Structure 1
């Protein structure tokens, strides 16, 4: 996939055209179409990467990870392990809901909602931590 193809895909995700992108980042009309055959300058790559909040490496095809703080497969595994620990702690500690029922006694829908909420909370916390604590030399 070329740089142009990646930019085009990002435009489709944002529901904007290449021409609209060119206007928003201050490029000449149809200048990005030259990216199909020629390599863009570093400055232009940075402007497009900043607009879409992705890394230049992603635009160049060096990685499929759009942002340095995106979760990796290992992060997802860590989240699942942490979720299991939380559930086990709820069960072991005798955690009870406001109505007195334990997590094991919740109906299937309520249990699913609780687990989904906890999982999303762990994902958000992991992304925030990566943004906050990743050293600058490892960011894009």
Structure 2
């Protein structure tokens, strides 16, 4: 698994969010979220932003560029 798929699944489970709930928030299908978590597809830029916003983490954290989930403001 790549960093995005691993982190996405971890964040979703940590926050007790279903794939369906996340999909509804970001405007994707449940299958789309499953594909992101399996690493078979990568989200588009706007989806990546929506996922980061949902979990209040940085995009760099989601994609594995840092281990700090906080957004630098």
TM-score bracket relative to the smaller structure: 0.7 to 0.9
Gaps of 5+ in 1: 69-138
Q: Which runs of 5+ in 2 are unaligned?
A: none
Structure ranking higher on relative contact order (CA contacts 8 Å, 6+ apart) = 2
Runs of 4+, deviation exceeding 2 Å: none
- C-alpha displacement of 1:51: 0.6
Q: TM-score, normalised by structure 1?
A: 0.45
Q: Find the aligned partners of 2:59 and 2:40 in 1 and give their Cα distance.
A: 18
Residue 16 in 1 paired to residue 20 in 2? no
Distance 1:15 1:29 in 2: 16
Kindly name which structure, 1 or 2, has the bigger radius of gyration based on alpha carbons: 1
* TM-score, normalised by the number of residues in structure 2: 0.81
Normalized per residue, which structure has more helix? 1
